[in-house]
Amino acid sequence: MSSSGEPSPALYDSGSFRDPTSRVWRDGDRILRGLDETAAADWNAAREAAFFAAAIERGDIVATSEVNGASPDGRAWTTVLEHERIPIVSYAHEWSFTMLQDAALLTLRLVRAAIDDDITSKDASAYNVQFVGAKPVFIDVPSFEPYRAGEAWWGYRQFCQLFLFPLMFTAYKDLPHQPWLRGAVDGITPEHARRVLQGKRAGHKGYLSHVWLHAKADSRFKDGSADTVTEMKNAGYKKELYIATIDRLIKLVDGLSWERSESTWGDYSDRGHYESKELLLKGDFVRRIVGQQPRNQVWDVGANDGMFSRIAAENSETVLAMDADDLVVDRLYRDLRESGTTGILPMVMNFADPSPGIGWDGAERPPLSQRSSPDVILALAVIHHLALTHNVPTSSILDLFRSLGSKIVLEVPTEDDQMVKTLMRHKRAGTHDAYTLEHIERQIEERFDVRERKVLPGETRVLFHLAS
């Protein structure tokens, strides 16, 4: 512990410092959380409330128990909690529209249920929610505290910045929310939302109060005056208004929809460029490699409709199904949600430009490589897109795969492949002459132990099983 009595930052989870009443740390595979006296009192109030037990039962709040655990810096926390581990941590800038919408609705419904037990939430960050497969789970248990008569919902501003405005961007403007949230850990300010959403279509639901008035009030009442609570109480603010705010937000968020139906890879699941026999052989190849032993985590890079993620999930705890196309990830998420599949986590991720660390010191929300360690990487029909669309040298692609230390299932479309020819057509002549099977295979052999090589029936695609 530091001489000031503060927890030593380096020993705790880099994302748990904002609320000074509690900190998270890891002990091996265990996720532990220390609560100070204030947070412990809030925890006791929340866990005795009916809404909390019901939410735990449904799996809406992460399973949590009190334990005896030593903190990493010897600090004597009043209470130590242990949370069930989330297989792969993901962030709102990696979620599709419907994932963000479901996380927002989970937050609001928990807040709504809590207030019936006189419990409120002191924040409403999108980072309070995680996904286990296609199920959102609320993880920030110390968010709950007893409601004090006359107080508005503290989490409102954060909810707008990290949930409502990003959802409105996509629903009303067809703007993907991911780059905005990746660009600012605190989300979109009311003023920025106003500037983007204003215009002819500003009459959309929720715009006037949550965006326009919010931005105006923000600029008019810039001071963070705690007196506002007293002033609102004096003006007649009551619990009924708190409830009405949440109820109307639930209706608004639930009614938002994203109409876009076309995207670069939106029709890929037709897979017209594959013969069905090739798909079956690819599926068998993946099943055999992944199935050689029980796997913890598998990455499916360029997962699209999740066909091979589902096969990999037969023998792994979690498959991270990542794709740069937010529409196909959204479709996959909705399919998985409907089928109740929990072993596949969909993620909007451009492998050529993966999530960096964001927030304080670039470490508050760390990059994917620090959150997940795959046993197997499926890189099926992705190398040509990285090499030809994003101009990443094939040697760099292979070096990156090798650095992850995993088994790799790699599909290399040859220079005679139809998709490769299509991608090449948009390129200046001569810039990608090195993209040949012979050249790539030589690079593979320099870096990997080639366990298996299989040419697919069309003879323009080759599968490799690689080990470092």
Q: Which is nearer to another protein, 51 or 156 (CB)?
A: 156
At closest approach, how far in Å is the CB of 223 from another protein?
6
CB 379 within 8 A of CB 301: yes
At closest approach, how far in Å is the CB of 263 from another protein?
33
Tell me which of 116, 221, 339, 356 binds another protein, using CB under 8 A. 221
At closest approach, how far in Å is the CB of 183 from another protein?
21
At closest approach, how far in Å is the CB of 246 from another protein?
9
At closest approach, how far in Å is the CB of 217 from another protein?
3
Number of residues located near another protein, criterion CB under 8 A: 49
Q: Which is nearer to another protein, 235 or 429 (CB)?
A: 235
Q: Residue 228, interface with another protein (CB under 8 A)?
A: yes
Q: 26-64: b or e for each residue (b if 16 or more CB lie within 10 Å)?
A: eeeeebbbbbbeebbbbbebbbebebbeebbeeebbbeb
**Angle at which helices 190-197 and 165-173 pack, to 10 degrees?**
10
- Span interacting with another protein, options 12-20, 29-37, 55-63, 173-181, rule CB under 8 A: 12-20
Structure tokens at 454: 């299989």
Q: Which is nearer to another protein, 201 or 238 (CB)?
A: 238
Q: Residue 5, interface with another protein (CB under 8 A)?
A: no
Closest CA to 5 of 76, 79, 80, 81: 76
Q: Which is nearer to another protein, 16 or 96 (CB)?
A: 16
At closest approach, how far in Å is the CB of 141 from another protein?
15
Tell me which of 241, 279, 400, 434 binds another protein, using CB under 8 A. 241
For residue 10, report the phi and psi dihedrals to the nearest 5 degrees: -65, -20
d(Cα 152, Cα 73) in Å, to the nearest integer? 36
Under DSSP, the state recorded for 364 is S
Q: Which is nearer to another protein, 173 or 216 (CB)?
A: 216
At closest approach, how far in Å is the CB of 175 from another protein?
23
3-state secondary structure of 231: helix
CB 408 within 8 A of CB 331: no
d(Cα 95, Cα 131) in Å, to the nearest integer? 9
Tell me which of 43, 97, 131, 242 binds another protein, using CB under 8 A. 242
Structure tokens at 370: 């620090």
Q: Residue 203, interface with another protein (CB under 8 A)?
A: no
At closest approach, how far in Å is the CB of 389 from another protein?
42
Tell me which of 7, 190, 343, 366 binds another protein, using CB under 8 A. 190
Tell me which of 5, 28, 224, 430 binds another protein, using CB under 8 A. 224
The percent helix, strand, coil of the chain (3-state, each to 5) is: 45, 20, 40
Total residues found in the chain within this entry? 468
Q: Residue 335, interface with another protein (CB under 8 A)?
A: no
Q: Residue 213, interface with another protein (CB under 8 A)?
A: yes
At closest approach, how far in Å is the CB of 362 from another protein?
22
Q: Residue 165, interface with another protein (CB under 8 A)?
A: no
- By CB under 8 A, the residues from 245 to 274 that bind another protein are 245, 248-249
Q: Residue 229, interface with another protein (CB under 8 A)?
A: yes
d(Cα 320, Cα 299) in Å, to the nearest integer? 5
Structure tokens at 44: 């006791």
Residue 140: CB atoms within 10 Å: 24
Closest CA to 206 of 178, 264, 265, 248: 248
Q: Residue 194, interface with another protein (CB under 8 A)?
A: no
- Span interacting with another protein, options 211-219, 261-269, 310-318, 412-420, rule CB under 8 A: 211-219
At closest approach, how far in Å is the CB of 7 from another protein?
15
Q: Residue 429, interface with another protein (CB under 8 A)?
A: no
Question: Strand runs (DSSP E) across 195-294, as ranges?
Answer: none
Give every CB contact of residue 345 below 8 A, 6+ residues apart in sequence: 87, 88, 90, 131, 132, 133, 134, 318, 319, 320, 321
Query: Pattern 124-153, binding to another protein, x per CB under 8 A?
Result: ---------------------x--x---xx
Closest CA to 465 of 455, 454, 287: 454
d(Cα 26, Cα 71) in Å, to the nearest integer? 9
Tell me which of 5, 74, 203, 236 binds another protein, using CB under 8 A. 236
- By CB under 8 A, the residues from 15 to 34 that bind another protein are 18-21
Give every CB contact of residue 341 below 8 A, 6+ residues apart in sequence: 133, 134, 310, 313
Q: Residue 340, interface with another protein (CB under 8 A)?
A: no
Q: Residue 184, interface with another protein (CB under 8 A)?
A: no
Backbone angle region of 337, left / alpha / beta, with phi > 0 → left and psi within -120 to 50 → alpha: alpha
Tell me which of 50, 67, 76, 244 binds another protein, using CB under 8 A. 244
Question: Using CB under 8 A as the criterion, which residues of the chain lie in contact with another protein when the complex forms?
Answer: 18-21, 38, 122-123, 145, 148, 152-158, 160, 190, 209-210, 213-214, 216-229, 231-232, 234-237, 240-242, 244-245, 248-249
